[in-house]
Structure 1
Amino acid sequence: MSKGKVLVMGSNATRIEIQGGGTGPMGQYLNETVVPMLALVGAGYEVLLATPSGAKPYIDPASDAVQHFGGDEAAYLRGKDFFANDPSTNTGRTLQSVIKEGLDEYDGVFAPGGQGPVVDLMQDPDAGEILRHFHAAGKPTALLCHGPIVSISAMPRATEFRAALIQGDRVKAAELAKGWQYAGYKMTVYSATEEKPIEDNILHGKLYFNMPETLDLAGAETTVGTDFEPHVVVDRELITGQNPRSDHPIAAKLIEALDRASLAS
């Protein structure tokens, strides 16, 4: 018997803006998606992957490697098979359809990273509605790597906030962020120094904004740990992980929070 349901918000983005014009290729990270989902299933929870368009997320080729599974070939192949074939990742569900059916049936929400969420989920109104629901209900909310930037979508004017960042207008962005639901929350997110190798070697350009400064500008209290080492921060219902190697730890913290909420209800 299922212990509950967790909604996984995926990204449909495949390219991200870089300074000077143009875009660079990116997507969603495989391990960040499937490791927590598999852990949740193993702990007795149902999972459902939904995206803005209903199409499956584009997996960033940089993440499609055994190294992101601790060098464990069996874990890597199991993760690939789960993403390709499990019913939970192949429903074609949109975030809007999940909202219409009712968010009360979900006990938690999770958003993995890769840079995809920085393009679409960060400013997606449906993602914002979902996060506001879970925030108001105090239900476990886990955001991994670039995923914590999805919390920006809870702002009423998230699209304008993001546009102000790209325009370099930090004063306007700070003004637009007033009233953000997660102001004052302790968080972590992919660091600027972790981002640099991707900017140098994959994007061949700099992003318009980095993740920690953006969350701080919005009103969060952001800290980062050692680059490319696991780091998870828990504050109230919000659980954030810094990087791809935080996949197992954030899953464990999310399951702990879900189990506690289940016992309390």
Structure 2
Amino acid sequence: MSKAKVLLIGSNATRIEIQGGRTGATGQYLNETVVPALAIVEAGYEIVLATPDGTKPHIDEASDTPDHFGGDKAAYERAKTFYANDPAMNEVRTLRSIVEEGLDNYAGVFVPGGQAPVVDLMQDPDMGEILRHFHERSKPTALLCHGPIAVAAAMPHAREFRAALIAGVPAKAAEWAKDWQYAGYKMTVFSNSEEKVVEDYILHAKLYFNVVDALQTAGGQVITTATDFEPHVVEDRELITGQNPRSDRALAGKFVAALDRSLAMA
């Protein structure tokens, strides 16, 4: 018997818009998905994986390396095996089916990163409905690296907000973000200087907007580290956010602790 169910929300995006009207390859990061997932399972919770279209998230090739596991090849191989074979990572639901089934069945929600959530999750209406449910009930809500951009989906005009960011009209984006549920929350997300590393060495192109700027435009109090790629987690009320891939373990620990506290209070 598990303590409770935890919803893990993945992205289905495999391409992201880049300046010049082109797209670059993207996906979900392996360590950001599996390290917290394993910690959640090992703490006695059951994971249910869901995505917008109900298919398994694509792992970004840039993350498919032992480097993102501190060079630990055994940990990397364990993660690959877990993601490839464990039923929790392969019995994928649609976000819509999760909503229709009833969100009261879940004790918490976790969204990993990779740039993919910037494409679909931040403007997905089912993602928004899920977030509003967890926010209104103060249930633990954890998001890692680029994952925190998904909280934009909770606003009533998430698609218009994103379109304004791509069009380079932040003032209009701020108007679309009015009454955002997470305005005033302290949070973190992949920093602008960290994003530049990805743009220069992985995408070889510029993105239309940075996630830090997007969340600040919406009203979030974004806090990032002075040094790139240092573990950093911010917890404010039910919201737990991690800045970058190296924040995977720290975020997992805080999320499990929040789940345990929430269950103890129920």
TMscore range, shorter length: over 0.9
Decide whether the 8 Å contact of 1:65 with 1:76 is kept in 2.
yes
**Residue of structure 2 equivalent to 1:229:** 230
* Counterpart AA for 2:66: V
Structure 1 CA distance, aligned partners of 2:182 and 2:154?
8
CA distance in 1, matches of 2:88, 2:55: 13
Which residue of 1 is the match for residue 38 of structure 2? 38
Gaps of 5+ in 2: none
Secondary structure of 2:110's aligned partner = strand
- The aligned counterpart of 2:64 is 64
Letter in 1 for 2:11: S
Q: CA deviation at 1:162?
A: 0.2
Contact kept in structure 1, 2:48 and 2:92, CA below 8 Å: no
Aligned equivalents of 2:35 and 2:154: distance in 1?
Answer: 26
8 Å CA contact retained: 2:108, 2:141: yes
- Report what 1:258 is aligned to: 259
In 2, the alpha carbon distance for the partners of 1:245 and 1:5 equals: 25
Corresponding residue number in structure 2 for 1:25 = 25
CA–CA distance in 2 between the matches of 1:100 and 1:28?
25
Q: What is the rounded CA distance, in whole Å, between the counterparts of 2:87 and 2:253 in structure 1?
A: 23
Q: Secondary structure at the match of 1:58?
A: coil
CA distance in 2, matches of 1:92, 1:32: 18
Stretches (4+) displaced over 2 A: none
Cα-Cα RMSD: 0.7
Task: Give distance in 2, aligned partners of 1:12 and 1:244.
Answer: 19
Letter in 2 for 1:41: V
Deviations 1:102-150 (A, max 9, x none): 1101000000000000000010001111000000010000000000000
Q: Distance in 1 between matches of 2:122 and 2:200?
A: 23
**CA deviations over 1:157-184 (Å, ceiling 9, x no partner):** 1000000001111111000000000000
SS in 1 for 2:91: coil
Equivalent pair of 2:55/2:92 in contact (CA under 8 Å): yes
Matched, 1:240 2:210: no
One-letter identity of the residue aligned with 2:164: A
The CA deviation string for residues 1-26 of structure 1, in whole angstroms up to 9 with x for no partner, is 21111100000001111112101111
Q: Secondary structure at the match of 1:107?
A: strand
Give me the TM-score of the superposition, normalised by structure 2. 0.98
Partner of 1:159: 159
User: Quick one: distance in 1 between partners of 2:248 and 2:179?
Assistant: 30
- Report if the CA contact (8 A) 1:103-1:133 is conserved: yes
Aligned residue pairs: how many? 265
Answer yes or no: is the 8 Å Cα contact 1:122–1:152 preserved in 2. Answer: yes
Question: Matches of residues 105-116 of structure 1 in structure 2 within 5 Å?
Answer: 105-116=105-116
Q: Which residue of 1 aligns with 2:118?
A: 118
Paired residue type of 1:230: P
Partner AA of 2:108 in structure 1: G
Q: What's the CA shift for 1:83?
A: 0.6
Q: Which amino acid aligns with 2:232?
A: H
Conserved 8 A contact 1:24-1:202: no
